[in-house]
Amino acid sequence: MNYQDILNEIHEEIQPYLKLGKVASYIPELANVPYEKFGMSLHTVDGKTHSVGNAYENFSIQSISKLFTLTLAKQLVGEKLWARVGREPSGNPFNSLVQLEYENGIPRNPFINAGALVITDVLISNFDNPKDKILDFIRLLSGNKDINYDPDVALSENKTGYLNKALANFLKSFKNLDNEPEQVLDVYFNQCSLAMNCCDLANSCIFLANDGRSHHFDEVITTEKQTKYINSILLTCGTYDSVGDFAYRVGLPGKSGVGGGIVAVMPDKFSICVWSPGLNESGNSLAGTKALELFTTMTGISVF
């Protein structure tokens, strides 16, 4: 299979789609990103990387960070995590307050905002300096020591993140946060602000395709069983409330973010990341989803 030729072909075919999505503007700093950016990077389990377009340009990973914080929290507290957060698709917008009320403060899954806030709370309770720990973990997974938080993006979201503030306070009122909402929100806004590129992200996610092993160090990140658990949650909950449509079209476990990035993994074969800032109505990158659909169709490789 010539992956590089396939990526080049997708890069050409995708051009008309770039202007169809809408760049997220509810976090003011994200509104400044040009919609025509497009990058894609593939990392294979045998250590090869193929990239195209703006694959080495940093963007705001936003909710993709939830995949890394979930992995850390699962390592820390194991199955006990599920007493505080579910693992079912939400069928509702990722920032819905309504569902949290009628489900008594237990978020549907770790990838909607309420669930991610609970996961961040777990990290704060277990680490002296959770922001450093998250950063160290991502630098280790990606093999890139230069990855950092983007303070402008974190501040921009903190100034305007009334809904996330409401969710955190609501969780606290249901006693599903051990720490103060302000502290949880500070770590959460920072984790979402992480600036990474497609190559870093494909690299960081290879452990999910490689039985829990990274390419950058020997230690096992997740056991085979945990890797299966995380990939299943990605497949059923990773791409907002159009997760069914994403599975239908792409056929891979994946996680998206409102910065326009999507990571996806094919167990035993590869991890892949695509970035295009224009989003569809559900919050997934429009051209990014199309590019992944083209990729799994052209290669004939998906989990199904």
Least distance to ligand GLU, CB of residue 73, Å? 17
**Comparison of 90 and 210: residue with beta carbon closer to ligand GLU:** 90
Least Å distance, CB 224 to ligand GLU, is 28
What's the closest the beta carbon of residue 140 comes to ligand GLU, in angstroms? 23
When the beta carbons of 172 and 269 are compared against ligand GLU, the nearer one is 172
Query: What type of residue is 107?
Result: P
| Residue closer to ligand GLU (CB basis): 113 or 271 | 113
Interaction site with ligand GLU (CB under 6 A)? 62-63, 94-95, 113, 157, 164, 192, 257-258, 283
Judged by beta carbon, residue 45 or residue 116, the one nearer ligand GLU is 116
Least separation, in Å, of the C-beta of 115 and ligand GLU?
A: 11
State in angstroms the smallest separation of the CB of 113 from ligand GLU: 5
DSSP 145-177: TT-B--HHHHHHHHHH-HHHHHHHHHHHHTT--
* Smallest separation (angstroms) from ligand GLU to the CB of 210: 25
Nearer to ligand GLU by C-beta: 52 or 124? 124
Nearer to ligand GLU, 192 or 234 (CB): 192
The CA distance from 193 to 173, in Å, is 26
**Measured between alpha carbons, how far is 219 from 161 in angstroms, rounded to an integer?**
37
Calpha distance 84→116 (Å, rounded)? 11
Minimum Å gap between C-beta 231 and ligand GLU is 19
Q: Quote the DSSP letter at residue 181.
A: H
Structure tokens at 213: 């092993």
Measured between alpha carbons, how far is 212 from 44 in angstroms, rounded to an integer?
14
CB 187 within 8 A of CB 168: no
Residue with Cβ nearer ligand GLU (147 or 258): 258
Question: What are the residues whose beta carbons fall under 8 Å from the beta carbon of 5, sequence distance 6 or more?
Answer: none
Query: What gap in Å lies between CA 149 and CA 131, rounded to an integer?
Result: 9
**Distance in Å, CB of 139 to ligand GLU, minimum:** 21
d(CA 250, CA 21): 18
- The residue (of 8 and 236) whose beta carbon lies closer to ligand GLU is 236
